[in-house]
Structure 1
Amino acid sequence: MRDSKKILDAWDAYSDEHTDLDGWPHDDHAYGLRAGQRDADTAEAFELLRYGARHLLATAETQLAQLPENTVQSRWVYQLGVLHTALDRLDALHEQWLTTRDALPFTAKPGTADFDDALAEHHAESWSYLDDWATHGNVVREINSAARKAPSPLAPTPARTPVRRSAARK
């Protein structure tokens, strides 16, 4: 998630420098190439997380349900929902990519226009959902941190010591 955030920050800096005040690129071709690189880099960064993402979300939801109410940030439920939706879309787009890849001509290999164009389109379609993970993914860490700091529901509550009154007071 950190790599994705760095990629997004680098993109924002590039975009700010290479667009006019209305947001139009100075050079459409160069801007499009850089956007394609952003999409590919973000997809690559997410691959490290993809296969464990559902487990991370399930763990965060379990932890969130067990946290004392006064330690819960109201945005966490919303952010977990965004991550779930994004992951569902990414999974569907990945299946779509596999179908597209399998339908490419036999000669379409990485480095050929047929393959690279189809992959670039897949990355472009996936980018906004990957951006959701870059933007909201830190919620998993925040919930885990809160859960680690929260008192365990299994720990016994310390017994209260009765207050003793002094003998001088009668």
Structure 2
Amino acid sequence: MRDSQKILDAWDAYSDEHTDLDGWPHDDHTYGLRKSQRDADTAQAFETLRYGARHLLATAQAQLTRLPENTVQSRWAYQLGVLHTALDRLDELHEQWLLTRDALPATAEPGTADFDDALAEHHAESWSYLDDWATHGKALREINTATRKAAPSQPVPTPALASAQRTATRK
């Protein structure tokens, strides 16, 4: 998430420098290439988080329900909802990308126009949802920090740990 924020900050600086006062790029082609690179970099940064994202969301949701009311930020529930929606959409787009990739001609490999154009389109479609993670993902850390401060001697079990504890108790 931090890498995504750095990418977004760099993009904002680039965009501010390379557009006019109305937001129109000085050079459409170069601006488009840089935007495509931003999309690809953001997608790559999210890959390290992708497979654990649902677990992180479930853990944060469980932690949020156990926090004392006076420690909860009202925006956290909203932010978790945005993250859930974005992750659902990213999963759908990933499935679409796999279908698109599989439908490409056999000659379409990374580095060819067919492959690279299709991948760039996938990244462009995914970018706003990746941006949601860059923007709202900090709520996961904030909830975890609040949980640690609220009960430092009693860790809140993650959903997987709670399930394992219930199973162990039944034996």
TM-score (norm 2): 0.89
The alignment status of 1:148 with 2:148, answered yes or no, reads yes
The within-5 A match list for 1:10-159 is 10-151=10-151
1:9 corresponds to:
9
SS at the partner of 1:79? helix
Counting aligned pairs with the same residue, the percent is 84
Letter in 2 for 1:12: D
Greater CA deviation, 144-153 or 9-18? 144-153
Letter in 2 for 1:128: S
SS at the partner of 1:140? helix
Q: Determine the C-alpha separation between the residues in 1 that align with 2:154 and 2:13.
A: 48
Please report how far the alpha carbon of residue 12 of structure 1 lies from its aligned counterpart in structure 2 after TM superposition.
Answer: 0.1
SS at the partner of 1:54? helix
| Structure having the larger proportion of residues in helix | 2
Q: Determine the C-alpha separation between the residues in 1 that align with 2:152 and 2:113.
A: 56
Unaligned residue ranges in structure 1 (runs of 5+): 156-170
TM-score (norm 1): 0.89
Larger Rg: 1
Q: Determine the C-alpha separation between the residues in 2 that align with 1:152 and 1:115.
A: 50
SS at the partner of 1:16? helix
Aligned length: 155
Letter in 2 for 1:25: P
Which contiguous aligned blocks of 4+ residues in structure 1 show a shift greater than 4 angstroms? 152-155
Letter in 1 for 2:4: S
Deviations 1:25-71 (A, max 9, x none): 00000000000000000000000000000000000000000000000
